[in-house]
Structure 1
C-alpha cells in the first residue's frame, strides 16, 4: 500500500480526532458568548456589538469546521458561508454530539494501540503462545475494523450536520435568488434612468450649446461683407464643428463603446488611457474573452474611475489591471491620489448597480490620503 493511500485513509481518523477537540473549544465559545451577551443586556449598544462580533467569530469557526470536513473527504475547500444567522450557533451547539462520539472512538483507538503494544511486548518476551497470539491478532483486527467504521460514521454525522444547518435549502436558495433578482431589476431600471439623465445633460450643456454657437458663427459669416473676416469666422466655425463631432463621439461612447465590436478590451482601454489627463498604466493578463456585456461593464467602470480620478483625486498615475480569477475576470483600478471617494456617490453607486446586474462583485477602498482602489469581479459567461 502506497504512502498516498495511507494518507488518504488516515485523513478521516485525524479529522474526527481534531473535531473532538474543536467541539470542546466550541462549547466553551458558546458558554462565553452566552455569558457576555447576558452581561451586556443592560447596554443595548454594547449588546449589538457583542452579538455582531460573536456572529463573525461563529461563522469563522464554522468555516474552519467545513474546511476540516472537506479535507477529510479529499474535497476542495468549500465556498464562503452564506449569511446563516442563528443557524451558525445552532450548528456549533449540535457539534457536541459528533465531538463526543469522536472522542469515544479516538479513546478506543488509543486503547487498542496500547493493548497492541502489550501483545507485542509479550511476544518479544516469549510469554505468549502461538494460538493465543493468533486469537489476539484476529480479535484486534476485528476491533480495529469496527473502530475505523466508527470514525467513518462520526465523520458522516458531522458532515450531515454541516449540510443541514449551514447550507441553504433549495427553497431558501430560490427565495434568496428571487429577492436578489428583484432588487437587481429595480437597480437596473434606476441605473438606466440615471444614464439617460446624464446623456440628456451632456447633450444639452455641451453639444447643443456648441451647435447653437456654430449656427451663430455661420450667421455672422453670411452677414459679413469683409472677405477676411468671413474667412476667419468660417475657420472658427470649422474648428467648432470638429469639436462638436468629438463631443458627439464622446457622448456615443458613453452610451455604448462601439469599438468593442471590432477591438479587444485591452485595445479599448488603451484608447481610454490616451484620452486621460492623468497617466494610465494598463496591465492586461491573457484570459478567455468574456461576453460583450461583461466587457462593456468593465469598460464603463474603467472610464468612470479614470474620469473621477482626473477630476477629484489629484493623482499622478492610475493603474488598471485586468486578468482571470477563480470565477471569471477581475479588474483592479488603483491610483495614488488623496482618496476619500464616496462609494455611495451617484457615479460609483451606478457602477455598483451595473456590476450587480451581471452577478458580479464591486468593491471600493478609499481611505483619506491613501489613494483609491476599485475591484470588480465578473463571471465570464
Structure 2
C-alpha cells in the first residue's frame, strides 16, 4: 500500500508519474496492436484462439501491475484489485491511451516553451530585446508554465481516476465484500459474547461462589459457638467477607455492563477504574462531545482489558490512556512501559478485536518483546 504523503510531495511526483505514463501508454499501444493482429490471425485457427487470448491477458496483467506500481509510487494512489481481471485489464490499457496522449501533448507544449524561452534568453544576452519586452516575455512564459504544470497534474489525476474506475472493485464487488465482512463480524461477536459469558461464569464460580460458601461455613461456626467472644470474632470476619463479596459482585457486574456510564462520561469512569488499579494510570480524555453509548462501552472494555493485562503480565510502572477525536472517529491509545510480549491472538485481545470490528473500527496491538506495549483503537463516531 502506498504510504500517505503530503500534497507537496504528490505534486513533485506527478510529473515523473505522467512521464512514465507516456512510456507505459506507448507499450500499451504496441501490446494492443500485436494483440489485434494475433487475434485476427488466430481466428483462422480455432485451436490457437484460446492460447492467444491467455497470452494477451497475461501480458496485459503484467503491464497493469507496472501501472499500479507507478500510480502508488508517484501519485500516491492505492488502487485495490478487483475480483475479476482478464479482459477488463485489456480494456483499461485501451482507455489509458487518453491520459497517455494528453500527457505527451502537455510535455510537447512544455518542450516548445523551453525552446522559446531559450530563444528569448539568447536575444536578451545579445541585446536584441529590450528590458520591457523581456519582462513581458517572462510574465507570459511564467503564466504558460503554470498552466502547463496544472495540465500535467490534471493528467495525473485523470490517470488515477480511470485506474480506480476500471481496475478497482465494482459496486457489486464492494457489496459482496461488505456482506462477507458482516458475516465474519457477526460470527466474531457471537464468539466474543460466548467467551465473555464463560469468563463471567468462571469469575462467579471460582471467586464469588467460593467466597459465599466460605461465608456460609463461617456463619455456621459462629452459630454453633458457645463462646461469645469467639462468636463476635467470627461475625466480624463474616461481615468483612460480605463486604469483599459485594466488591467482587460489583466487579463482575461492571464486566457485563458499565452502569457508571449512565451518570458520567468515559473519562470520568476510567478515572474511577484507574483509582482501583495497582499500577499508576494517567487518563486524558479530550472529546468535543460524548460519542454514542455503544462506542463508549467498547472503549471502556478495551481500556479495562489493557489495564488488566499491563498490571498482571507486563510488570508496568506507568500506564497512560489517551482519548481524542478527529475526522469522524474516536481514537484511544493505551500505552504502558512494561516488558511487552502481548499476544493479539490471545482470548482477551482477540475478543476485543471482534467487538471493535463489529462497529467498523480497528484495533492494533504493538507489543514487541522487551516493551513497551501500545493498544490503539479507532471507532467511527459519526
Determine helix, strand or coil for the equivalent of 1:340: coil
Structure 1 distance, partners of 2:293, 2:17, is 47
Structure 1 residue 198: Cα displacement: 0.6
Structure 2 distance, partners of 1:18, 1:261, is 57
Structure 2 distance, partners of 1:24, 1:322, is 47
Partner of 1:337: 338
Out of 20, 23, 46, the position equivalent to 2:21 is 23
Task: Return closer, same or farther for 1:312/1:26 CA change in 2, 3 Å cut-off.
Answer: farther
Alignment of 1:30-69 (within 5 A): 61-67=70-76
Structure 2 distance, partners of 1:295, 1:157, is 42
Contiguous gaps of at least 5 residues in structure 1: 1-12, 31-54, 68-77, 127-142
Q: Assess if the C-alpha contact under 8 Å between 1:281 and 1:318 holds in 2.
A: yes
Structure 1 distance, partners of 2:153, 2:305, is 55
Partner of 1:354: 355
Task: Return closer, same or farther for 1:155/1:246 CA change in 2, 3 Å cut-off.
Answer: closer
Cα shift readout 1:201-243 (whole Å, capped 9, x = no counterpart): 1111111111111111111111111111111111011000000
Determine helix, strand or coil for the equivalent of 2:115: helix
Structure 1 distance, partners of 2:239, 2:66, is 67
**Alignment of 1:227 onto 2:225:** no
Structure 1 residue 16: Cα displacement: 7.0
Partner of 2:373: 372
Q: Assess if the C-alpha contact under 8 Å between 1:19 and 1:102 holds in 2.
A: no
Q: Assess if the C-alpha contact under 8 Å between 1:26 and 1:93 holds in 2.
A: no
Alignment of 1:286-365 (within 5 A): 286-365=287-366
Task: Return closer, same or farther for 1:330/1:240 CA change in 2, 3 Å cut-off.
Answer: same
Cα shift readout 1:10-46 (whole Å, capped 9, x = no counterpart): xxx9987444324268799x9xxxxxxxxxxxxxxxx
Structure 1 residue 164: Cα displacement: 1.6
Structure 1 residue 85: Cα displacement: 8.2
Contiguous gaps of at least 5 residues in structure 2: 1-10, 29-63, 130-143
Structure 1 residue 82: Cα displacement: 3.9
**Alignment of 1:251 onto 2:249:** no
Structure 1 residue 168: Cα displacement: 2.6
Alignment of 1:94-133 (within 5 A): 98-111=99-112, 114-115=115-116
Structure 2 distance, partners of 1:286, 1:178, is 32
Structure 1 residue 157: Cα displacement: 4.8
Partner of 2:189: 188
Count of aligned positions: 315
Structure 2 distance, partners of 1:16, 1:303, is 47
Structure 1 distance, partners of 2:197, 2:329, is 29
Partner of 1:205: 206
Structure 2 distance, partners of 1:84, 1:195, is 38
Structure 1 residue 155: Cα displacement: 5.5
Structure 1 distance, partners of 2:225, 2:128, is 126
Task: Return closer, same or farther for 1:367/1:148 CA change in 2, 3 Å cut-off.
Answer: closer
Structure 2 distance, partners of 1:323, 1:147, is 43
Cα shift readout 1:310-356 (whole Å, capped 9, x = no counterpart): 11101111111111132311011111111111110101101101100
Partner of 2:266: 265
Structure 2 distance, partners of 1:320, 1:147, is 50
Determine helix, strand or coil for the equivalent of 1:313: coil
Task: Return closer, same or farther for 1:113/1:353 CA change in 2, 3 Å cut-off.
Answer: same
Structure 1 residue 282: Cα displacement: 1.2
Structure 1 distance, partners of 2:71, 2:84, is 12
Structure 2 distance, partners of 1:147, 1:57, is 26
**Alignment of 1:280 onto 2:278:** no
Q: Runs of at least 4 residues of structure 1 off by over 3 A?
A: 13-19, 24-28, 55-61, 63-67, 80-87, 89-97, 112-122, 146-157
RMSD: 3.8
Cα shift readout 1:97-145 (whole Å, capped 9, x = no counterpart): 63454123321343256358759969x959xxxxxxxxxxxxxxxx99x
Structure 1 residue 290: Cα displacement: 0.8
